[in-house]
Amino acid sequence: MAEDAILEFLEKNEEISDSFKFAEQHGFLHEEIVNVIRSLNGFRFVDAQDIRRERWVLTEEGKTYASVGSPEFQLFSAVPPEGIAREELQKKLDPAVYKIGCQQAIKNKWVEMAKTQVSRKVHHADDKVKDSLLRIQNGEAVNQEDIDALKRRKLISQQVWKGNSVRKGPNYAPKRKRAATDLTRENLQRGDWKELEFKEYNFSAKGQPVEGGHLHPLLKVRRQIQMIFLNMGFEEMPTNNYVESSFWNFDALFQPQQHPARDSHDTFFLKVPSTTKMLPEEYVERVKQVHESGGYQSRGYGYDWKREEANKNLLRTHTTAVSSRMLCALAQKPFAPKKYYSIDRVFRNEAVDRTHLAEFHQIEGLICDRGLTLGDLIGVLHDFFARLGMSKLRFKPAYNPYTEPSMEIFSYHEGLKKWVEVGNSGMFRPEMLLPMGLPEDVRVIAWGLSLERPTMILYGIDNIRDLFGPKVDIGLIKRNPICRLGL
């Protein structure tokens, strides 16, 4: 209906000068007319020009003052010629009117405010604010100075009106004939395909974007690192248990029970179930012995080892807890060399900031064989990190409760132009391995690093919360490229 009205009007007239007035005259909503004009303009039936008009309208507060007067005039009117006590004046007016009225009336020099008394300074006052508001309400002209004053007081706001002026376009016709988009069986049977006008194909148009799944950057880097381990002959450890006992997470790793890592400020302990009931008793007794009085040429820690501490359940703080289980299981069979790796989530009670989260992913590799030395560990680390694209390595002595010697691993970062720490490593202590039942000449070399740090470097992310957690941008996951390591 609106389209017919526009085309018929243009057949007899040169122009629709104002779409708003046209809509009013013909009984249409202005939005409906504008939508039709846009459609006709797209097919060049009409040429439309935008019209933009701005006008000032009263806010709700402005409408109130236009009706009853400005706060300063209300306050002035409430002050009798002989004056009035401030408390009495305050009772006569609304609190908001009193507060604003005092400020503006003093500014206009209409009243004098003493400590207890309010008196008039002029005999008569004109409410110019109300007059200006009424003139704006009636569509009359108001000078710019008054408009600026009303705008500052938020008594008026600007209303923008958009419309169109319309003329005939190059494809104008009194009636728009809809172009067919499909040739149907019915068209062929009726024979009306001869009279049909078909819509032209747009060969430059892009198709709908494919809505498929997208791998997270962490998963891409994880897969590449997994392939590096597999190419080096490692097999994956089962890491599906996020909940561990303190025994496997700490005690089996020769970590003393008074170690700070066992504090609730560093570790998440479970309330339900709070303890475990399944521990290998013979092995537990050997671990207790080595903690209390040593053995295997070690003096131990010399304290009273408590079973209740070992029984406490927690969210594992490192995947080395899985390594301790795997090595203990390996010791129960005739010895055979093994290479194990894992990449999975660990949990630590840390303050969250741009580089730390309470949960993250740990990468761990270990090799168990006879006669391994520190030189073997350094050689394996050079091979592993070279496959990650880190060929320049340095090592710094460090301390870990369950490895001796221990080394921090540093790599030269070409982008930052400095050495950065990329991991930790060491040889598992005899106090950890021999109570399991492994042969005395068996050594275990191991190393670990986080998954998040190399991922952040590869994808140029400087805040870990943008990579992992509830603040991750889904667009980042869709746009990120394939991970390329230095394989």
Q: What is the DSSP letter of 238?
A: P
What pLDDT score was predicted for residue 160?
A: 84
pLDDT tens-place string over residues 270-327: 998 999 988 888 999 999 999 998 888 888 888 999 999 899 999 999 999 999 999 9
Answer yes or no: is 402 within a domain. Answer: yes
Question: 8 pLDDT exceeds 90?
Answer: no
Confidence of residue 202 (pLDDT cuts 50, 70, 90): confident
Closest CA to 324 of 399, 233, 255: 255
Q: Look up the CATH number of the domain holding residue 271.
A: 3.30.930.10
- Please give the average per-residue pLDDT across 253-264, as a whole number: 84
Answer yes or no: is 110 within a domain. Answer: no
Number of domains in the chain: 1
Enclosing domain of residue 278:
215-477
Question: 478 pLDDT exceeds 80?
Answer: no
CA distance 378 to 394: 10
Contact 40, 176 (CB under 8 A): yes
Confidence of residue 359 (pLDDT cuts 50, 70, 90): confident
Answer yes or no: is 17 within a domain. Answer: no
Contact 235, 338 (CB under 8 A): yes
Q: Which amino acid is at 229?
A: F
What pLDDT score was predicted for residue 21?
A: 86
pLDDT tens-place string over residues 88-110: 999 999 999 999 999 999 999 99
For the ranges 44-48, 56-60, 248-252, 357-361, which has the lowest average pLDDT?
357-361
Answer yes or no: is 293 within a domain. Answer: yes
CA distance 339 to 322: 14
> Model's pTM, two decimal places?
0.56
Q: How many CA atoms lie within 13 A of 196 on its CB side?
A: 16
Burial class of residue 420, CB neighbours in 10 A (0-12, 13-18, 19+): middle
Answer yes or no: is 105 within a domain. Answer: no
Chain mean position to CA 455: 17
Confidence of residue 487 (pLDDT cuts 50, 70, 90): very low
Answer yes or no: is 173 within a domain. Answer: no
- Mean confidence (pLDDT) of the chain: 87
Answer yes or no: is 365 within a domain. Answer: yes
Answer yes or no: is 235 within a domain. Answer: yes
- Please give the average per-residue pLDDT across 137-143, as a whole number: 88
Dig out the tokens for 310 from the structure.
């070992």
Highest average pLDDT, of 209-218, 334-343, 470-479, comes from 334-343
Contact 318, 402 (CB under 8 A): no
Cβ atoms < 10 Å from Cβ of 95: 8
